[in-house]
Amino acid sequence: MSSVATDAPRGGVTVRELRWSDFDPIREMYLLLYEERETNPEIGIHLFHARPSYADEVAWFANLYRAVLAGDAVVSVGVVDGVVVGHCTVRRIEPGVNSETDHNGVLGIVVHREYRSRGVGRAILADALRQCEGRFEVVRLSVFATNRRARKLYEEFGFVHVGTFPRHVHRGDRYVDEELMAKVLSGPPNR
């Protein structure tokens, strides 16, 4: 975990590496998405039908932290005024199995709703992609087709549309298509 803090974009965002102490704020930010889904069905993240248990969340975070230590994931954490307000994760596909696809990473990003449109997403995405150089050859992601702002940001960082999952998410009484995007990084990973 060697992420270096980047220059703070508008809003005073600092980007740093994942810490064990980030579990509670990241968990709380994730759980807020369940409330947001009720008022904003367009929120562009996959959620379980019911909130996961505390034990499930601990297991998820421990696995993520282990993946970072093993070099199979990068995580950039956005902090404003000492508060964790977002994180961007890229995880290796099939880590530790020496497969033909382990040069690929899957990107996920979450920004606290009160800190969106303040440069947090841009800062943590830029840092995560910087950390991916030399670890992954391709980074892929999925984004709700209705989330134009996120798609535009990913395009600005060089991601291109590679396909669509029609009706991929069933939320309430409707379906949402999901767009697949990918970015080819320079050079093979150093392992």
Q: Tokens at residue 54, please?
A: 């505390």
Domain count, the chain: 1
Q: What is the pTM of this model?
A: 0.86
- Specify if 164 maps to a domain: no
Residue written as token pair 């008022």:
39
**Is the distance from CB of 14 to CB of 78 less than 8 angstroms?**
yes
**Cα(122)–Cα(118) distance, integer angstroms:** 9
Percent helix / strand / coil, the chain, rounded to 5:
30, 30, 35
Asked if residue 126 is part of any domain, the answer here is yes
How do the pLDDT tens digits run along the chain, 191 residues long? 434 344 344 458 999 999 999 999 999 998 888 777 777 666 667 666 778 899 999 999 999 999 999 999 999 999 999 999 999 999 998 776 677 888 899 999 999 989 988 999 999 999 999 999 999 999 999 998 988 989 999 999 999 999 999 998 887 788 889 999 999 997 665 55
Is residue 154 included in any domain, yes or no? no
- Helix ranges, the chain (H): 23-39, 54-70, 120-132, 148-156
Residue 86's domain comprises: 13-137
Residue 185 maps to a domain: no
